[in-house]
Amino acid sequence: MSRMKILSIAAVWLGVLMLLVGLGVGIWGGWIAYWHFAALSTGRSAEFDNPLFQLAGAGALLGLGGFLAGLGVGLPKPKPATEASTGKPAA
């Protein structure tokens, strides 16, 4: 297996993994933000974490994961050895 093929597969898997983790972190930050809104809308006071870091981290993970997955899918496919060495298509 060529190095480009291995790099392509690794980029796709790493990108998909980062997309899934980013989605999970985004849902977690959204849940915190939802409870902020719920507490404010009822007029009660509650202590909550700041969801800014979770939401910013989720955006960064989703962006980088999408980039890596797209990069892995879009990498050029290696030519077969016979075609690469002779310059003519294999029969």
pTM over 0.85: no
- pLDDT string in tens for the chain (91-residue length): 677 788 888 888 999 999 999 999 999 999 988 888 888 777 776 676 778 888 899 999 999 999 988 888 887 776 666 655 556 665 5
Q: What is the pLDDT of residue 22?
A: 92
Nearest C-alpha neighbor of 11 from the set 61, 66, 80 = 66
Inter-CA distances, 86 with 5, 23, 32, 62, 90, Å: 21, 47, 61, 43, 9
Q: What is the pLDDT of residue 10?
A: 87
Q: What is the pLDDT of residue 87?
A: 61
**What are the structural domain ranges in the chain?**
3-76
